[in-house]
Amino acid sequence: MLPFGHLAASYLISQIPGKNKQILNPKEIFVVLLAGIMFDFDFLLPNLFGYPGGTHHFFATHTPMAGIIYWLIMWIILRKLIRPRVFFLIALALLSHLVLDDLSYWLGLIGWESRSWPQIFWGYPFDSRREYWINYFFDHYQQHPYTNQDVWDSYFFRLPKLYYLEILLVIWAIFVFKVRKRCHLHKK
């Protein structure tokens, strides 16, 4: 999924009301949004080695273990600045990123989408599938190199259901944002 979908999902997570229908302040919303796209900060790294950006899912930085580390770093830095409840939403945003990234693989397994390799290796560093798929990718890539444009084309045309979900998430997030804004204006 592209950052737009991850931001939309994270925004929707940030809008989950707490006790007494309490919502997050803008600073807390920003932190949840940051958590939701944090995994994609490694997107440009493969380009440094001559590989398309989509291969960043093979990195250790795109695993649940990395998510735990990201969460701990955010907790250490922000624990005195934001409410404890926000850290639960940060964890949900981090988890949603991984789930949404791996969704195309799961949809392929049940026949609802074209098959693709796993996007997330949930048991890293103990997930034996990771080594197999990295070797598969590099063997395949050596024989049939492709570009970032090919990755985009695959996302939009070969695996379109995830793209459609992303569009729905963005529309839903915009709708929730407008409703919250309207409610906030009526309270004043």
% of residues, the chain, pLDDT over 90? 49
End-to-end CA distance of the chain: 37
What residues does each domain of the chain span?
3-187
d(CA 135, CA 130) in angstroms, rounded, equals 9
Q: Is 68 left (phi over 0), alpha (psi -120 to 50) or beta?
A: alpha
Mean pLDDT for the chain overall: 87
Q: Give residue 91's pLDDT band: very low, low, confident or very high (50, 70, 90).
A: very high
Q: What is the mean pLDDT of residues 109-113?
A: 85
3-state secondary structure of 143: helix
Which residues touch 79 (CB under 8 Å, ≥6 apart)? 87
d(CA 172, CA 121) in angstroms, rounded, equals 29
pLDDT in tens, 132-168: 888 887 787 777 766 767 766 776 776 678 888 999 9
pLDDT in tens, 12-66: 999 998 777 788 999 999 999 999 999 999 887 887 887 776 788 888 999 999 9
Sign of CA dihedral 154, 160, 165, 167: positive
DSSP codes, 59-94: SGGGSHHHHHHHHHHHHHHHTTTS-HHHHHHHHHHH
Would you say 67 and 120 are in contact if contact means Cβ atoms under 8 Å apart? no
d(CA 6, CA 33) in angstroms, rounded, equals 8
Which residues touch 95 (CB under 8 Å, ≥6 apart)? 64, 67
pLDDT in the model for residue 183:
78
Q: How far from 140 is each of 133, 135, 165, CA to CA, in Å?
A: 10, 8, 28
pLDDT in the model for residue 138:
77
Would you say 9 and 174 are in contact if contact means Cβ atoms under 8 Å apart? no
pLDDT in the model for residue 63:
95
Name the pTM for this structure: 0.87
pLDDT in the model for residue 28:
96
Q: Is the pLDDT of residue 188 over 70?
A: no
